[in-house]
Structure 1
Amino acid sequence: MPTPGLMFVGSRVLDPSKTSDATSNAFYDKEHLPDVLDHGITKVALRYKNTNAESPMPYVALYPLEDASFLQSPDLGKLVEDTKMSKTFNNTDIYEHIHFELRGYEKIQTFEGYGQADKSGKERGQTIVCVAMEPAEGQDHEFDEWYRKQHLDMLAMCRGYRRTTRYKKLDGQKPRYLALHEYACKPDELPGDQIKQVVATEWSQKIIKESLVFDRDVLELVQAQGDTSLNL
């Protein structure tokens, strides 16, 4: 049975003096997302804007995959080749205008918030707290136990929490672990007071402080295409 995966693609304009944010968004939303969907590798394409204006990756596109092995197959190269020429950019190579950072993951856990299991993607949270982590050396098991036995149960008590989807990088590069925490609110409405309490537990502080990498971004949904009833 195939293991579900995620194609995670960060992007930024290479030269803002030549390519505006509006042009980049038009390319992505009107051309690129439909192209990826037309190739049949995913049934839903989601695009987010990073709330951190200083982020090197101001936009993120998420493509859930039924089979993570696609990300290590020649079919990925074919997708890149088939979608690299852009009408938005006068039939030139998109890599001359936009920098992409592709990360491939396999899914390791889906955790639904209380009363959320029967809700479709059409009711998805508008905000994702995206956390990439690398646990301390030799602590993968405790890291996973922390998520499964404490952290997610506590997050589920926060206002607006929908679900968490967890992934592990296929190429083994650090940080290997990714957690996407969905909330049904705008970024500035996140329950920051409650989240602070969740990460203040003794176990949470141990895991976070000992982690080799802890990167946190807050992403706001700006585009959803394809079968939007599907969740990550």
Structure 2
Amino acid sequence: MSTLTVQGVSVSIQQQKILESISFQLEPGSITALVGHNGAGKSTIMKTILGLQEKKEGVIKLKDTFQKEDFVRFKQQLAYIPEEPFLLSELTVMQHFQLYGESYQMDKGKLYQKIAHYLNELEIADKQNEYPESLSKGMRQKVQTICAMLPDVPLLLIDEPFMGLDIYASDFLQQVMKEKVQNGTAILLTSHQLERMKDLADQYIMLQQGKVVGSGYMQDFEILKRRFE
């Protein structure tokens, strides 16, 4: 069974068609790069899968759960790292992690073990009682990244995963992503860092003006890329 099925999804905003009949599948234990120029529709696909953007037509299914039929169960099976960190000003760093743990009904022992590990590896253990407004953008991105990495879910969506992260944090995130894939998670990500994407992703989906214009194995991406340059 595919982890994610997107079938015939179209999105229009103020009468303008943003996505047109998008279809693809993600298999368990795979990393798929969503590539294309600015405005191609990459972030819109992410937001549509998340339910933040309403679709005009089409079907989105996560394992055996249809987005439209059981949205709560659908959302509990995915995690998301946005391009810009979105943190709640009234919660401390630790309270964000605790909120995620409760939202995904995580075992508390496992939750705090993961929190301690990620805080240590990303060198922000001294920030756990801070509020977002006192953190730099890079620190906020680390917090947002940890939040998404805490639950073990079938699907992980990542929009520009390395934005705002230092080299060490980027390398650590890449390592964690590979570990999650080994445990069966499917990852869909966008990034302008194509060299890192080529080392990381198994497959690609190429968008142009809201349409899928190509897909395949990542090693074949350079051939297709040259056709559209």
Superposition TM-score, scaled by structure 2 size: 0.29
Greater share of residues in strand: 1
Q: TM-score, normalised by structure 1?
A: 0.28
